[in-house]
Amino acid sequence: MASKKRSISLSEDLDDKLVELCEALSVSPNSYINNVVAKAVLNERTALVSQNASSEGIDRLVSMFQGMADEESKE
């Protein structure tokens, strides 16, 4: 899969802490950042997809009940 380059700016303090943590974990800062971002995106996207599916389901139920109410009012 092709990689997309993005740049980020970190405060010196955050960068120092990131480097210290990555050295302790024996991973590169790039690898650590990619893993953290991947987890966050997966979690947020899962919530978004779930929310959208719930909203669509509610819309379908409302439409169905409206159709039933319309049929009853014709009788």
Question: Mean pLDDT, 10 residues at a time, over the chain (75 residues)?
Answer: 91 98 98 96 88 76 77 73
Q: Does the pTM of the predicted model rise above 0.75?
A: no
Rounded distance, CA 42 to CA 20, Å?
26
User: From CA 8, how far away is CA 70, in angstroms rounded?
Assistant: 56
